[in-house]
Amino acid sequence: MHLKLRVWRQAGPTATGAFESYDMPEVSAEMSFLELIDELNEKLIEANKEPVAFDHDCREGICGSCSMMINGQAHGPSRGTATCQLFLRKFVDGSEITVEPWRAGAFPVIRDLSTDRTALDHIIESGGFISAPTGSAPDANLILVPKEVADAAMDAAACIGCGACVAACPNSAAQLFTAAKVAHLNLLPQGQPERWNRVQNMVDTMESYFGSCTNHGECEKACPKEISIDFIALLNKDYLKAQWKNRKLESQRG
């Protein structure tokens, strides 16, 4: 295959960025997109030029670090895949491919295709956990969980925190990410003690960094794990309940 790349180059967070074009002849259709960037970087290094900075780790679609917009689509044209799972056979021979970082105010560019997604970590820190009493582990079947609840929790837990939902959303909202991280704990018995504080704290933290959801649905389409926007409805429902329950608890303490 013969491909042409337009890659966003930016030396640092405060530097002015611009697209640079690269010719990539004789690449294999069976290469992954990250392997294409690897090959580009090898050529740049051989020419004593600065390689393209990009995030990657597992290359198996489970770490969520390979965050880049490809031809205006988060993770590229294939649905239900991360960038590392995208293969060049999805593109037409001779086509030009535009590659750029996530475009969201909460994800400032660090360099080239690498962005700072610390804001997602702050949401997790505010409530994405459960309290675990010390001591020996209880029996695995001690707490009964209905299969439909376990399945829904597992669907939510599939979120890899890549930020594609934010990058695809016209409002740069993080509702799908937050909803998934809240739901996989709130649906299970182990997550009930902190349920109302969790949802309120995580949503409030989210709102301080990201835009608001107006149900465009782009997040679901861009998600490499195809997480349903139904979880956003559950999030909104729990958040409204949390407002009432937490105020009631506060009044009882006062």
Taking only the tens place, the pLDDT of each residue in 199-238 is 999 999 999 999 999 999 999 999 999 999 999 999 999 9
Q: How confident is the model at residue 133, as a pLDDT?
A: 73
Residues 6 or more apart in contact with residue 157 via CB below 8 angstroms: 180, 184
Q: How confident is the model at residue 254, as a pLDDT?
A: 61
Q: Do 195 and 165 lie in a common domain? A: yes
Q: Do 94 and 128 lie in a common domain? A: no
User: What is the domain extent for residue 177?
Assistant: 118-253
Q: Do 56 and 9 lie in a common domain? A: yes
Q: Do 72 and 143 lie in a common domain? A: no
Q: Do 126 and 246 lie in a common domain? A: yes
Question: 87 forms bridges with which residues in the sheet?
Answer: 32
| pLDDT above 90 for 110 | yes
Choosing from 58, 88, 111, the residue where a domain stops is 111
Q: Quick: pLDDT tens for 172-190.
A: 999 999 999 999 999 999 8
Q: Do 84 and 192 lie in a common domain? A: no
Q: What's the total number of domains in the chain?
A: 2
Q: Do 84 and 129 lie in a common domain? A: no
Question: Which position has the token pair 């695809």?
Answer: 168
Q: Do 178 and 198 lie in a common domain? A: yes
Task: Please report which residue ranges of 110-229 form alpha helices under DSSP H.
Answer: 118-125, 147-157, 164-168, 175-186, 195-209, 218-222
Q: Do 147 and 233 lie in a common domain? A: yes
Q: How confident is the model at residue 135, as a pLDDT?
A: 78
Question: Which position has the token pair 């997604």?
Answer: 117
